[in-house]
Amino acid sequence: MVLVAAALALIACAPAPSPAERKYADQTKEPWYSQTISELSALNRQAQRAFQAGKLDDASNLILKAEPLANRLLAVTRPALPAIEAASDLDQLYGQMLLINRNYGWARLEFQKNRARWKSWQPQTDETARRLKLAEDAIAECDRKMTE
């Protein structure tokens, strides 16, 4: 009994076991990730062409098809810059469509997502500054339209 009590006392005083090292799998290195970026970028280009050609229904359908891809890319722990840029392009185009349809509040929300992305992105580059300015200009445009 004394030995059991001594063993329990020693066990209780021992340091806690170290937590198992958490395994972080970088999903941005997986083949599906780069394929999804390529698919999203292609859909963005098609939607942009349709939008510029005045085919708003086609552009809308392409945007709806692209949204799940953008969501999947952004759901990883540390999204890659090309994924952020592709998602940003999609949000920018969607915001422009909403702006044309006079859905100013919803358009502003899309542009605010981009502003938040690029305002907090590190390291800041000329490209991230350009994208931030684009989002801020679009927000200002929404604000002007809402007060007209």
Determine the Cα–Cα distance for residues 8 and 52; give it in Å rounded to an integer.
76
DSSP characters for 78-102? Answer: S--HHHHHHHHHHHHHHHHHHHHTT
In a domain, 1, yes or no: no
How many separate domains does the chain show?
A: 1
Question: What's the Rg (C-alpha) of the chain?
Answer: 24
For residue 64, the enclosing domain spans 29-147
In a domain, 141, yes or no: yes
Mean pLDDT, the chain, whole residue set: 89
**What is the amino acid identity at position 148?**
E
pLDDT per residue as tens digits for the range 39-67: 999 999 999 999 999 999 999 999 999 99
Q: Is the predicted pLDDT of residue 8 greater than 80, yes or no?
A: no
